[in-house]
Amino acid sequence: MKKKNTPPKSGTETAIDKKLQLPEQETAKTIKLEEFTADGTDELMTTNHGVRINDDQHSLKAGERGSTLLEDFILREKITHFDHERIPERIVHARGSGAHGVFKLYKSQSAFTKAAFLNDTETETPVFVRFSTVAGSRGSTDLARDVRGFAVKFYTQEGNFDLVGNNMPVFFIQDAIKFPDLVHAVKPEPDNEMPQAASAHDTFWDFISLMPESTHMVMWLMSDRAIPRSYRMMEGFGVHTFRFINAEGVSSFVKFHWKPVLGVHSVAWDEAQHISGKDPDFHRRDLWDAIEAGAFAEWELGIQVVAEEDEFKFDFDLLDPTKLIPEELVPVEIIGKMTLNRNPDNFFAETEQVAFHVGHVVPGIDFTNDPLMQGRLFSYTDTQLIRLGGPNFHEIPINRPVVPVHNHQRDGHMRQTINRGKVSYNPNSLGGNDPAQVKAADGGFAVYPERIDARKVRARSKSFLDHFSQAKLFFNSQSEPEKNHMIDAFTFELGKVKTVAIRERMLGILSLVDEGLAAEVAYGLGLHVPEPEQPLNKSFGADEDPSTYESVLREGSLSASTALSMAGTVKDSIRSRKIAILAADGVNGSSLKHVKSALEAEGAIVEVIAPRLGGIIAEDNSMLAVDQSFLTAASVLFDAVYVPGGTNSVATIEAEANAVHFLNEAFKHCKAIAADGEAMQVLEATYFSRKLPADFKEETVLREGIVVTEDSKKLAKLFIKAIAQHRFWNRENPRKVPA
């Protein structure tokens, strides 16, 4: 139960002790996020300092029509707080959504790490997760073609561990010193502040075409991974190679993976653009509604572990953040599950103020010399200092650990903890030398004693200079529909680039990934594929000679990896999928109710769409509730569509242009479609009627994604199987490009 936000009783320190500090005598179990939450019910209005307010409707004036008085402290406090309600948004990842949950370990990982939350299979570790887009502002659309942030804060019994990653396992750059350049390039162009939340413009592709190390990441960005169906249906990755340290001090390298239980699914690019106009909060709403409905979001945590002695056995460098470890070389071991089961109580206090940091680690997890990771260890703290107002952002409730905090850090902007005593230094004798340092054997954090013996240089390891083998691997691993989508994505993005020289330079880069890819993109742009520019790697200092470096055209050991394609993802559930039923007065209520019940029994969310809100009268004169009208609903907001029978209903739906458009769009975006046999005339009014299969047997339905039958039980069964397939990309026209 949430605690009331009542003022403390006079002469006591109880409220201060519990709300403003972490007293030494309290145990970890007494510190909960809920203790800092005000529920806002049955309370008396007060100022921020606890003074009860008599009148919140009128400012203090010199007479009823006179000037407002400066002494009105209630007005000044209220207006001042309002004036400062908005804090600077994140430079990147500004557009975000969050949720609370728990992590439960399947099997102890003590062989690799001494991190307690990865050893204890009995305890559920609280988590807070924030998903986000990267390039757009807070007000941008959820459906931009973009990388998605996937940041998890574990509130462990040894302190907070933040796994701050993305939905793609690699990144654009190898060294953090290039991060400002990348972000400046992808953000809206500074002269006109356009385009918002989009990479389809000159500055981004100018940068990318001059940074071949970005090639692998750009392949991911142009894939369907960049437009997920839901946050709940995308993978997450730690991106970097971390270290595990076990109790004996033995080190291993580790990569983190989040595998969604619902599978990895995307939307079509045309669909994403329409969703941005219909509901720019699509992903945010999807996550919120699913949790509210009890369809909790779930991911399994997987790890790839590489022994210290195997660091150099691959044909790529483990420390290169533009590389992944193919699962064929090191399988992903699933070790636990994360379940998001509670929405935030207040978006600003939690989702907006949560502060993640790659440097928040616990004993048993350590860093590597990945130069991108090393820069992030500085950047995150530096960012939070300006964004959240000072060094005490860790005291904001959403950022507090669930264990007591004891150190000699004092004061600073917005300090909340009230420290007792006169000692704020170490060592000391006046305070008993408390708090005491903790031995590593007793849980104190100790870094892995990696041997370092080198000269100070500004350079990059030659092992980082292969920029194309894994880009080739990714493209070769895609299914034909996925490859076609990537070709379309490159053609769309580069088609928005005004400078022809940039387009041509990028085509040269693509030719080193796949000549067919480059040729098809060039055809769409009306250009020829040029020879790639030399030197291929632009990432050199002014005094470096690129000719001293080995070739960047190394071939990888694998030609393809099944894990890199979404074609083989989980397709066995329709849980939380949104299904539209198009109906009107005179509908066959029996069929509608049966199909609706069957879909809901499988966990789907079903909405009846009709010409008007309120209700519709079925053939048997029963009243059926309507969820949305054609004015408020849109095909792009649903995963599948069903048209029940009923003479009058069918005639009304066939004559409703918005209903026919609804079906046309669903077909165009390769979604499952079902109709009662007597509703066939509605399908015949669509543009795809000539493409309808000759029969609607199970094998045809699972190939074409369309089911039509008079038998509502059979229809429901086949429709459910079709929806579970997610999309029927074979409906898309085959690519016809001259050789």
Query: Which residues are bridge partners to 258 per DSSP?
Result: 236, 301
- The SS3 of residue 162 is strand
Question: Which residues 6+ apart lie within 8 Å of 727 measured at CB?
Answer: 265, 268, 669, 670, 671, 705
CA distance 291 to 497: 40
Among 93, 283, 360, 467, the one annotated catalytic: 93
Under 8 Å between Cβ of 298 and 338: yes
| Angstrom distances, CA of residue 6 to CA of 16, 41, 468 | 12, 11, 62
Under 8 Å between Cβ of 267 and 669: yes
- The continuous run of DSSP H or E covering 709 comes out as strand 706-709
H, E, C per residue of 681-704: HHHHCCCCHHHCCCCCCHHHHHHH
User: Quick one: CA torsion of 584, 585, 591, 596, rounded to 10 degrees?
Assistant: 50
Q: Are strands 365-366 and 614-617 parallel, antiparallel or unpaired?
A: unpaired
166: annotated active-site residue? yes
CA distance 226 to 269: 10
Comparing C-alpha atoms, which of 675, 595, 580 is closest to residue 632?
580
Comparing C-alpha atoms, which of 174, 185, 161 is closest to residue 92?
185
| Angstrom distances, CA of residue 707 to CA of 413, 582, 583, 680, 728 | 63, 15, 17, 10, 13
Comparing C-alpha atoms, which of 87, 92, 160 is closest to residue 127?
160
Instruction: Give me the numbers of helices (H) and strands (E) for the chain, helices first please.
Output: 18, 18
Among 119, 160, 166, 167, the one annotated catalytic: 166
Comparing C-alpha atoms, which of 216, 235, 90 is closest to residue 168?
235
Question: Which residues 6+ apart lie within 8 Å of 258 measured at CB?
Answer: 150, 152, 165, 235, 236, 237, 299, 300, 301, 302, 338
Question: Which residues 6+ apart lie within 8 Å of 309 measured at CB?
Answer: none
Under 8 Å between Cβ of 665 and 688: no
CA–CA–CA angle 246, 251, 256 (5° rounding): 85
Amino acid at 420: R
Comparing C-alpha atoms, which of 566, 536, 531 is closest to residue 549?
536
The full DSSP string for 266-320 is B--HHHHHHHHHH-TTHHHHHHHHHHHTT--EEEEEEEEEEEGGGTT-SSS-TT-
- The SS3 of residue 340 is strand
| Angstrom distances, CA of residue 36 to CA of 5, 22, 84 | 9, 12, 21
CA distance 467 to 537: 9
Instruction: List, by residue number, the catalytic residues.
Output: 93, 166
